[in-house]
Amino acid sequence: MKLQIIEGTPHSPKVELNPTGEIKMHGRCIIEDSIEFFAPIFLWIKCFNFNKVNIDINLEYINTSSVKQLYCMLQHVKSNRNIKEVYINWYYEEGDDDMLELGQDIESQINLPFDFFECAEKLA
């Protein structure tokens, strides 16, 4: 595996898939075709064969279809039998209770532990 970077746009987040076990996603996520956008991420996770993964999710905003794909991404991580340890860091802008609650909802549904970090300035 090698480092894969999906460059961000005003509508899609920058995603870094590092073979050392790091997934970083930051920016806005208001993608029209979220299935197509997330497909290479799902494939990368499926091929991931290390026992530990760190995921940083640092989104300013995410639309409904992208939330579903983000949830599916975390399901792929959870179902990868090679991955034994998962660390998820959820960053949200200070006072953005909606993004905090979204992270908490996903955490409760996916049954993986999240760490939440409130940031004082704009994330993207």
pLDDT of residue 48: 87
Distance separating alpha carbons of residues 53 and 21, to the nearest angstrom: 4
Among the four given CATH numbers 3.30.750.24, 3.40.50.300, 3.40.1160.10, 3.30.530.50, the one describing domain 13-119:
3.30.750.24
Q: Yes or no: say if 116 and 103 are a contact pair by the CB < 8 Å rule.
A: yes
Q: Yes or no: say if 116 and 100 are a contact pair by the CB < 8 Å rule.
A: yes
From residue 10, alpha-carbon distances to 38, 61, 68, 120 in Å are 16, 11, 20, 21
Give domain limits for the chain. 13-119
pLDDT of residue 121: 66
Alpha carbon dihedral 23, 3, 52, 115, in 10-degree steps, equals -20
Chunked into runs of 10 residues, the chain (124 residues) has average pLDDT values of 92 95 96 95 92 96 96 95 95 94 96 94 54
